[in-house]
Amino acid sequence: MSELDDIMRAFGEAGGHQGALADVNTAHLVASGHSILSSHSVEGLDVQARETQDGISAKVTVRAGVKLKNPVHMCFGVLHQEGTQRIEMDVRLEEGSSAQFIAHCIFPKAEKVRHIMDATVAIGEGAEMRYSETHYHGLSGGVEVVPKAMVTISRGGRYFTDFTLTTGRVGKLDLDYTVDVGEDAVTELVARVFGHGRDGIHIRDKVLLTGKNARGLIKTRVAIEDDAVAEVTGITEGNAAGARGHVDCMEIVKDRAVARAIPIVQVNDPGAKVTHEAAIGSVDKRQMETLMAHGLLPEEAVDIIVRGILR
Amino acid sequence: MSLLEIKDVIYEADAKRSSRILDGLSFSVEAGEIHALLGTNGTGKSTLAYLIMGCEGYHPVSGDILFEGSRLGHRPIHERARLGITMAWQEPVRFEGITVNDYLTLRNKDADTAELLALVGLNPALYGLRMVDRALSGGERKRIELASILVLRPKLAILDEPDSGIDMLSTKDIINVITAFKQNGSAVLLITHREEIAMIADRSSQMCNGRVICSGDPAKVAEHYKARHCGVCSGLECHYV
């Protein structure tokens, strides 16, 4: 069985839509370790990808005015027990374009694997990008995931990202996103992570509301159990009139796990407004009582509440 | 044997007698009946509901709560629920990431969610896939809670002020739901401070100052309640009837 077959099988088992990768109208990029196994582009989308010593480097451009009908599917992974995969991405959405990217990152057997993502994203005037990244890890906890992104959004642009790591052990996560939001532009950064064992979770989202009437939301949902540790830092700066930002962090803690939330809100213009809310603790008592009054066992109630916030 | 029997229950919020909320309360609910519990704010109605449901921190100092003749004692909530007791809180809690349809099928995956939503006056096409979260208004959330316990077909449904937060025009919807419990064979302990809602009951009781001061025909109890015949309510020396 080829490496492509292996990763396709893992992709399918992880919930990926295999049919999309065979569709000529749908763009995709599949890489295992530092090998590009498959790629396909569509009209209006330029993808220049090359293999590097320890990963891949890709420059992705959606041309001005092009609105991609189908999501661009990306599948990255390391199928071996050990290895490093460094993904360098330079994504540009030109003026008035729009695209959705769906990324699956798969590390089913990882014992000692590093997955590093360095992304630079530029959203042109009036352009819109939606990016969702879902991780599927094995149960050993031997993965280190380091996603970093620097995003700039021009006037009227929109950038939405959704990071999910709720299957398998997290291992070590060090997520670091910074988004500079221009005039009348909008961003939403959402992260959902479920940590077990001795997982270490470190999330740092930073939104700079630079332009007039810029909007930003940071939403983080983390559940941790056993001896896992999580630290979530949500930073939002309101630097222009009419800018509005909100930081919303919720962490549910079980067993001996330890959670920390650090919301940092700063306003440098009297016409800006930034708010935050953070809730850390065990599962809400009233929620538990309500579900138990419906006849659910305590452990069933906890499971529903945790899965709900990570959904 | 009554379905629910409360015998001389005393409950204090802490160990001091000055914090006594229920003061020798006794009354009963029969199988299949709607029993309204009337009382002004602060008389202990919701506290009684929490005691029956077995909420954390709510245990009688003395007295007994019997369900189908057996003491509930220190049974946890889920065990009481599996005996057939359930409750709709006055202000139902919100849940992130749980759709209305999922919430209505927590215990019965085959439940007809469209029928349930229609029964509580909500359009199934608009509400089924919404989350049971903060985006719902208080009234919407309340209706969904009622639907979620109606589907359980409990032996006893405790409804804590099901009409609060519901606009007057929609009161009829709430009355229809309460009636649906009875049609399903459930008994309802209907906690309210609105006598017009209590009028749909088979029997009523009036609570004051931690005790039931009268029980019987809903019209007579409502009249008693409206006239503030209870001394505590009217500011006079209390003389229980």
What helix, strand, coil percent values describe chain A, rounded to 5? 10, 55, 30
If you measure CA to CA, which chain A residue comes closest to B55?
A: A289
Residues of B whose CB is below 8 A from A307: 97
Query: Which pairing describes strands A172-181 and A143-153: parallel, antiparallel, or unpaired?
Result: parallel
**And the tokens for A232?**
């979530």
The DSSP call for residue B99 is: B
Give the C-alpha separation, B153 to B156, whole Å: 9
Those residues of chain B whose CB sits closer than 8 Å to some CB in chain A are: 53, 55-56, 76-78, 80-82, 86-87, 89, 92-93, 95-98, 106-107, 148-149, 152
**pLDDT > 90? residue B150:** yes
Return the bridge partners of A232, or none.
Answer: A203, A261
User: Which distant-in-sequence residues (6+ apart) come within 8 Å of B30 by Cβ?
Assistant: B2, B3, B187, B202, B203
The count of C-alpha atoms lying within 13 angstroms of the C-alpha of B31, restricted to the half-sphere facing its C-beta, is 9
Q: Do B95 and A311 touch (CB under 8 A)?
A: no
Contact between chains at A304 and B106 (C-beta distance less than 8 A): yes
d(CA A110, CA B67): 55
What is the count of structural domains for chain A?
Answer: 1
For residue A88, the distance in angstroms to the closest alpha carbon of chain B comes to 33
End-to-end CA gap in chain B? 24
Type of residue at B54: G
CB B101 within 8 A of CB B109: no
Asked if B106 and A296 come within 8 Å (Cβ–Cβ), the reply is: yes
Average pLDDT, chain B: 90
Q: Is the pLDDT of residue A232 over 70?
A: yes
pLDDT at A228 over 70: yes
Q: What average pLDDT does this structure show over B221-226?
A: 87
pLDDT of residue B90: 93
Helix (H, G, I), strand (E, B) or coil at A75: strand
Question: How close, in Å, is residue A283 to chain B by CA atoms?
Answer: 11
Q: Which domains does chain B have, with CATH numbers?
A: 32-44+84-234 (3.40.50.300)
Considering only the beta carbons, identify the residue of B55, B89, B107 that sits closest to A295: B107
The pLDDT tens digits for B111-125 are 999 999 999 999 999
Among chain B residues, CA nearest to A310 = B97
- Judged by average pLDDT, the poorest of A14-18, A48-52, A153-157, A245-249 is A14-18
- Report how far residue A204's alpha carbon sits from residue B221's, in angstroms, rounded to the nearest whole number: 61
On chain A, the residues whose CB falls within 8 A of the CB of B82 are: 295
CB contact under 8 A, A308 and B152: no
Q: Which residues does chain B have within 8 Å of residue A296's beta carbon, measured at their own beta carbons?
A: 78, 81, 106-107
Distance of CA A87 to the CA centre of its chain: 14
- Is residue B236 pLDDT above 50, yes or no? no
Q: Do B77 and A285 touch (CB under 8 A)?
A: no
**Partner residues linked to A159 by β-bridges:** A129, A187
Rounded to whole angstroms, how far apart are CA atoms B21 and B18? Answer: 9
Residues near B47 by Cβ (< 8 Å), separated by ≥ 6?
B11, B21, B22, B58
Mean pLDDT (whole number) for A140-165: 97
Note whether residue A103 is domain-resident.
yes
Is residue A205 domain-resident?
A: no
- Chain A residues in contact with B93 (beta carbon < 8 A): 284, 286-287, 290
Judged by CB atoms closer than 8 Å, whether chains meet at B95 and A294 is answered as: no
Note whether B162 and B146 are within 8 A (CB).
yes
Q: Rounded mean pLDDT of chain A? A: 94
pLDDT tens for A256-272 read 999 999 999 999 999 99
Q: Is residue A23 part of a domain?
A: yes
Burial class of residue A90 (count of CB atoms within 10 Å of its CB; 0-12, 13-18, 19+): middle
Chain A residues interacting with chain B (CB cutoff of 8 angstroms)? 221, 250, 284-287, 289-298, 301, 304-305, 307-311
CB of A36 within 8 A of CB of A65? no
Residue A106 domain-assigned (yes or no):
yes
Q: Range of A102's domain?
A: 1-142
pLDDT digits (tens, 9 = 90+) for B31-48: 999 999 999 888 999 999
A286 neighbourhood in chain B, CB within 8 Å: 89, 93
User: Quick one: pLDDT at residue A5?
Assistant: 82
Cα separation, B221 vs A243, in Å, equals 58
Q: Is residue A243 part of a domain?
A: no
Matching residue, tokens 């109606």? B150
- Which DSSP state fits B193? S
Nearest CB to B86; choose among A294, A297, A308? A294
Q: What is the residue type of A5?
A: D
CB contact under 8 A, B81 and A290: no
The mean per-residue pLDDT over the stretch B4-18 comes to 86
Coil, strand or helix at A28: strand
Residue A285 located in a structural domain: no
